[in-house]
């Protein structure tokens, strides 16, 4: 075949057949990867040092072995290789943390092979693997907090294994919404604690734009609107570790496309469970409902959904310095400064100690809903 | 199954499962708790002052009827010392307002309150039906604006409306979906008034669930009118409403939780996008633009698609932009707010015509009126040329225009 006679050339380089359609443009896989990588790099430009001797920032990349975080890892790694090869300054380096998926989801998906593939493909990085229940070791104070939080529904027995203790705590929470909510809070704490211990100043979360939109909507629905400034926006978390969301300009569908043109990712990524069809709305968790909402609406109105995360990213971080924060999730107790609403006063019937924030109170085991 | 005792008094038989938290309550306790919560809202937010003249925006629907009943009860129970009256707007919607206005008239007798009914035709020179005939069912919500104008005529400075927690939660979700930060910063305030307007508008039922309002009306056997407005909801509000109904099934408290989130986020909206930054709770135009509650703000529903198109175009334009770098590696800061995030400012001004607050030079209502008056025949419509004929002929004209356009 003649070399340059292309049926449908890539709109960018015009030098290869197009493979993918991205945002109405037909690109070859090379140009597509460059496009995606550019979107990520522009988010991390603050960490780029201007000279070779600039300070090297240390970041933490939690990898769930799902599509998004694996793609993020691939992008960051490719960029690193390129910079090392061309003698450019790195600006930052990152460590990888894997929280064993089997200890998070009850489904118990085997992931050992995926983890091995991860180690094999990214040998230049420090990869650490810890189970979810190691939170009792990494964040020792969580023990008392969980006991206080769950009240009489959970009796902690420190003679049992960490795994059993965490399972007992999680079992005390009755609704899927509250369980997912508290799981997320605990996972975040574990990851933050690990970041601090390993000298990382920031955590890079692998949330796609679609995921951030769902997180923003779910956060609002769970009374956690005030925490969006670090749960959805790039910014300083209450623990003094910065949170970055470098995939915020990319849709989940685009990350799936990226995965499809990266052969080395196929062994690493644990595919998403397809959403089950026959679930009553009332049995879903709020996070799941919002993910579905963003998916459904996103098929028709991708821009509108993307705009949700962008809107949340424009909020100012709360300026209530020194104000008391939640013992569990570190969000602000009570109202944000300037909010004179009385929703909190209306909750007098909850009648619990006030060391937990509004959002965490809602997910408490003793709540009736 | 043995009857369950009331969660509150532990004595009487529970007949109600509270939608807010699923507590099982007896009739008397439910009514008491509902009223007490509204009282706490009023006290907690310093809503009224003794001797204040307050107009209750009454539509005859469940929300405003319950509001009138509760305010009357609380005014007497806790000696607020309020001078309450009912204010109704006759939009002139055939078959909708006529019956509901009858309800309001009965309410006035039942609650022993003075009632004023002001017609759209009196306030604007147009009835709602005429407006709809002219501009279609899009962007015609001026109800709350009309209330303000009506109150101003009566010399009353405080109008209370029946907006409930569901309405506020919807507004929060809608503004988040629309990416409308200025409205996100105002929509949850219990009082919406500003330096720009004399009229203070508030929603004492802001924390009350729609379902509990219905239950309250039912158990107190209030006389209200049940017909939904005939105009379809604005697309973003419609989507937010569906979402909230689903959320309520999953976690009943979520309506209140959204209100709480909305209040917190309002305080986090950067000052430069809030609109009139100097007044802490500006936004009396909130409900009139973009729709308000269960009855108003209804349109044909293409807003989401329109915004999608707009966003896609922005995106495309952005990808065509070329970054221009200055030589010598000098770095220029973009025009950004103090947070480093680019934001657009919205300023609140007075309408040049009617002095009502507006972010534009001429307010939405006056613009609408302008458009309407331009189409209105200079002479009165004679018998023989019915509205239908006129409508028909303009439709034909449009069709011909379209045919011409497609032919070229």
pLDDT tens digits along A161-201: 999 999 999 999 989 999 999 999 999 999 999 999 999 99
pLDDT of residue A141: 92
Nearest CA in chain B to A25: B316
What SS3 class is residue B191? strand
Answer with the residue of higher pLDDT: A40 or B126. Answer: A40
pLDDT of residue A4: 63
pLDDT tens digits along A149-163: 988 878 888 889 999
Alpha carbon B349 to chain centroid, angstroms: 20
Mutate to test the interface with B, among A11, A235, A310, A314 (most CBs of B within 10 A): A314
Question: Cα(B197)–Cα(B289) distance, rounded to whole angstroms?
Answer: 16
Q: What is the rounded average pLDDT of the residues A142-146?
A: 91
Chain A nearest-CA distance from B269, in A, is: 5
- Interface subset of B 296-325, CB within 8 angstroms of A: 304-305, 307-308, 310-312, 315-316, 319
pLDDT tens digits along A31-70: 999 999 999 998 888 887 666 666 688 999 999 999 999 9
Contact, A344 vs A350, CB < 8 A?
Answer: no
pLDDT of residue B160: 93
CB < 8 Å & 24+ apart, contacts of B360-363? B363/B145, B363/B285
- CA distances to A57, A133, A173, A192 from A195, rounded to whole Å, are 13, 17, 28, 5
Q: How many residues can be counted in chain B?
A: 408
ipTM of the modeled complex: 0.92
Question: Cα(B296)–Cα(B288) distance, rounded to whole angstroms?
Answer: 9
Does A341 contact B172 at a Cβ distance shorter than 8 Å?
A: no
Q: What is the rounded average pLDDT of the residues B156-171?
A: 92
pLDDT of residue B294: 37
pLDDT of residue B348: 65
- What angle, 0 to 180 degrees and rounded to 10, lies between the N-to-C axes of helices A302-312 and A286-300? 130
pLDDT of residue B227: 64
pLDDT of residue A14: 87
The answer to whether residue B153 scores a pLDDT higher than 60 is: yes
Task: Name the H helices within B270-347.
Answer: 303-320
pLDDT tens digits along A288-333: 999 999 998 888 888 888 899 999 999 988 766 778 889 999 988 8
pTM higher than 0.90 for the full model?
Answer: no
Least CB–CB distance from B263: residue in A222, A284, A341? A341
Radius of gyration of chain B (CA): 24
- CA distances to A93, A97, A269, B330, B345 from A73, rounded to whole Å, are 12, 11, 11, 32, 38
Rounded to 10 degrees, what is the CA torsion of B78, B157, B105, B143? -120
The answer to whether residue A205 scores a pLDDT higher than 80 is: yes
Question: Cα(B400)–Cα(B352) distance, rounded to whole angstroms?
Answer: 37
pLDDT tens digits along A237-276: 999 999 999 999 999 999 999 999 998 899 999 988 877 7
Phi/psi-derived region of residue A193, left when phi > 0, alpha when psi is between -120 and 50, beta in every other case: alpha
pLDDT of residue B394: 46
The answer to whether residue B333 scores a pLDDT higher than 60 is: no
Least CB–CB distance from B177: residue in A23, A308, A368? A308
Q: What is the rounded average pLDDT of the residues B147-171?
A: 87
Nearest CA in chain A to B261: A225
Chain A contacts of B268, Cβ < 8 Å?
226, 229, 315-318, 336
Model confidence at B221, pLDDT cuts 50, 70, 90, reads very high
Model confidence at B379, pLDDT cuts 50, 70, 90, reads very low
The answer to whether residue A355 scores a pLDDT higher than 70 is: yes
Chain A contacts of B234, Cβ < 8 Å?
none
Give A218's contacts (C-beta < 8 A, 6+ positions apart): A286, A287, A289, A290
Q: What is the rounded average pLDDT of the residues A110-136?
A: 92
Give B380's contacts (C-beta < 8 A, 6+ positions apart): none
User: Is the Cβ of B260 closer than 8 Å to some Cβ of chain A?
Assistant: yes
Mean pLDDT score of chain B: 76
Least CB–CB distance from B260: residue in A315, A338, A343? A343
How many Cβ contacts (< 8 angstroms) between chains A and B?
A: 174
């Amino acid at each position: 075949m003649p070399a340059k006679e292309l049926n449908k050339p890539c709109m960018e380089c015009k030098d290869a057949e197009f493979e993918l359609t991205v945002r109405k443009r037909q690109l070859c896989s090379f140009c597509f990867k460059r496009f995606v990588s550019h979107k990520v790099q522009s988010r991390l430009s603050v960490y780029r040092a201007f000279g070779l001797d600039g300070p090297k920032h240390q970041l933490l990349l939690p990898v769930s072995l799902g599509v998004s975080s694996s793609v993020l890892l691939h992008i960051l790694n490719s960029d690193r290789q390129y910079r090392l090869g061309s003698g450019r300054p790195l600006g930052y380096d990152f460590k990888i943390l894997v929280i064993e998926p089997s200890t998070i989801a009850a489904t118990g998906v085997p992931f050992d092979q995926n983890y091995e593939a991860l180690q094999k493909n990214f040998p230049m990085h420090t990869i650490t693997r810890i189970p979810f229940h190691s939170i009792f070791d990494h964040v020792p104070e969580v023990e008392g907090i969980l006991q206080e939080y769950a009240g009489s529904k959970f009796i902690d027995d420190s003679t049992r294994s960490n795994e059993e203790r965490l399972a007992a705590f999680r079992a005390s929470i009755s609704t899927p919404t509250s369980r997912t909510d508290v799981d997320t809070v605990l996972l975040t704490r574990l990851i933050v604690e690990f970041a601090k211990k390993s000298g990382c100043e920031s955590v890079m979360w692998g949330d796609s734009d679609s995921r951030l939109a769902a997180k923003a909507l779910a956060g609002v629905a769970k009374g956690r609107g005030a925490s969006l400034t670090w749960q959805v926006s790039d910014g300083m978390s209450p623990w003094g570790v910065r949170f970055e969301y470098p995939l915020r300009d990319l849709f989940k569908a685009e990350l799936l496309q990226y995965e499809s043109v990266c052969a080395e990712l196929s062994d690493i990524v644990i595919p998403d469970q397809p959403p089950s069809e026959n679930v009553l709305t009332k049995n879903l968790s709020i996070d799941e409902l919002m993910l579905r909402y963003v998916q459904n609406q996103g098929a028709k109105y991708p821009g509108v959904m993307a705009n949700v995360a962008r809107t949340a990213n424009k909020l100012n971080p709360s300026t209530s310095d020194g104000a008391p924060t939640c013992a569990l999730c570190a969000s602000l107790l009570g109202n944000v400064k300037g909010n004179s609403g009385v929703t909190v006063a209306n909750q007098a019937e909850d009648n619990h100690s006030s060391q937990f924030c509004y959002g965490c109170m809602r997910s408490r085991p003793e709540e009736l809903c | 199954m043995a009857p369950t005792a009331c969660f509150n008094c532990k004595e009487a038989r529970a007949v109600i499962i509270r939608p807010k938290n699923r507590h099982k309550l007896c009739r008397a306790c439910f009514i008491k708790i509902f009223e007490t919560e509204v009282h706490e809202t009023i006290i907690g937010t310093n809503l009224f002052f003794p001797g204040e003249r307050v107009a209750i925006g009454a539509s005859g629907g469940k929300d405003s009827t319950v509001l009138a009943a509760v305010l009357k009860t609380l005014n007497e129970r806790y000696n607020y010392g309020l001078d309450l009256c009912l204010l109704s707007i006759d939009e002139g919607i055939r078959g909708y307002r006529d019956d509901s206005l009858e309800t309001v008239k009965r309410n006035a007798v039942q609650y022993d309150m003075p009632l004023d009914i002001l017609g759209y035709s009196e306030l604007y020179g147009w009835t709602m039906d005429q407006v709809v005939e002219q501009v279609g069912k899009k962007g015609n919500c001026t109800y709350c604006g009309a209330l303000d104008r009506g109150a101003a005529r009566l010399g009353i400075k405080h109008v209370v409306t029946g907006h409930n927690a569901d309405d506020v939660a919807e507004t929060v979700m809608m503004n988040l979906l629309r990416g409308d930060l200025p409205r996100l910063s105002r929509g949850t305030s219990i009082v919406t008034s500003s330096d720009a307007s004399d009229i203070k508008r508030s929603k004492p039922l802001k924390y009350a669930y729609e379902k509990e309002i219905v239950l309250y009306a039912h158990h107190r056997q209030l006389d209200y009118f049940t017909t939904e407005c005939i105009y379809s909801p604005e697309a973003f509000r419609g989507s937010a409403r569906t979402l909230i109904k689903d959320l309520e099934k999953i976690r009943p408290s979520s309506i209140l939780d959204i209100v709480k989130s909305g209040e917190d986020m309002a305080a986090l909206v950067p000052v430069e996008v809030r609109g009139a930054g100097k007044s802490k709770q500006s936004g009396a135009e909130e409900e009139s633009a973009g729709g308000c509650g269960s009855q108003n703000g209804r349109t044909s529903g293409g807003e989401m698609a329109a915004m999608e198109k707009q966003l896609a175009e922005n995106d495309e334009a952005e990808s065509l932009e070329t970054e221009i770098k200055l030589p010598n590696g000098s770095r220029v800061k973009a025009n950004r707010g103090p947070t480093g995030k680019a934001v657009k400012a919205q300023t609140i001004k007075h309408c040049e015509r009617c002095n009502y607050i507006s972010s534009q030079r001429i307010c939405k209502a006056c613009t609408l009126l302008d458009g309407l008056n331009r189409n209105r025949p200079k002479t009165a419509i004679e018998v023989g040329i019915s509205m239908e004929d006129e409508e028909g002929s303009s439709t034909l004209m449009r069709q011909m225009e379209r045919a011409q356009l497609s032919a070229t």
